[in-house]
Amino acid sequence: MAVSDHQLLEAWKQVLKLSKLEKGQTVTILTSASTHPQTLAMAQIAVQSMGAILNRLDLPPVNAEKALSRDPLAYLGTTPLTGNPAAIAMLKASDLVLDLMTLLFSPEQIDILKSGTKILLAVEPPEVLVRTVPTEADRARVQAHSAFLGKGKQMSVLSEAGTDITFALGEFPVISEYAFVDEPGRWDHWPSGFCFTFPNEGGSNGTIVIDKGDILLPQKCYTSDKIVLTVENGFATKIEGGVDAELLREYMASFDDPEGYAISHIGWGLQPRCHWSTMMLYDREQSIAMDARAYEGNFLFSLGPNNEAGGNRTTACHIDIPLRNCTVKVDGKEVVRNGKVLDEAVK
């Protein structure tokens, strides 16, 4: 369903207000070939309506010759900012960057954030943005769960499908995503609503079973059969199952990078306005499937880089895998039980 300009404009205003945009601050909207015109148009009006100085920086897309799909998360590391100090300087000189292009996981993004610039990524279709416009309550809930996760030394995840794995914690910070940027140097993604961290280097061991109906990203497919990952000392060492496992193995092998098999971020979804079933309603090129990453009660784990949290691993291969019906425990205390979030655990 299309959204009206008015609805999207109001959504942008809410996000900018929550992001504490002030009169006279400088906002740069970063765009590229796939930026949605309505999202851009309403972002520009919202920024100006709040008395901020508006810039646009439009950069050509890169990576087409290497990426295997049009999904902006399918190939990470190099961006239109790579080797582009003029563009980096413009973004560093901005108070807020609205990233309608997708800079995620790039060293340039980390560098820009260190200067104090805030970055908010927003590339989902307008109707998804409107449905998932964030609230202060989203922030409070995500931060409560993040604080709980941040105290943990071990996360364990179990499921009836056969997942049984432990992750040692403490080496990397916890990251809260609540879809607005209210602190200098903060990055966030609209839509979102989840908390995560990264396991200690070498500290993941066990079995993860991706059950029938779970989701692989950026493939944007529901699996039709179980995929069993054997995880040893931080890396997926076996990917077994039927044709879904074979497809995943072949996709990952195409990167020819052993670092792509490392366990990356681990956490759980907290956004009730996102849904497991939404992805099937979209063509693959319409969305990056943030619903799948953020729906309430998922256990979201991933394979690939850990530089987002200060680690050294930068690989172009990144797979996000939200699982249903898992029980997640931190230091033995359940916070998600069979896919249901237990808010009382974090109070």
Contacting residues toward Fe ion, per CB under 5 A: 302, 320
> 129: which strand partners?
none
Token pair 């849904």 is at which residue?
A: 275
Q: Which of 92, 296, 332 is nearest to 194 (CA)?
A: 296
Query: What is the C-alpha to C-alpha distance for residues 81 and 99, in angstroms, rounded to an integer?
Result: 12
Type of residue found at 255: F
Q: Sign (positive/negative) of CA torsion 63, 98, 32, 85?
A: negative
Neighbours of 111 (CB within 10 A): 14
Min CB(195)–Fe ion separation in Å? 13
Q: Mapping DSSP to helix (H, G, I), strand (E, B) and coil, where does residue 197 land? A: strand
Q: Which of 47, 65, 66 is nearest to 56 (CA)?
A: 47
CA 62 to chain centre: 20
Compute the half-sphere exposure of residue 343: CA atoms within 13 Å on the CB side of its CA: 10
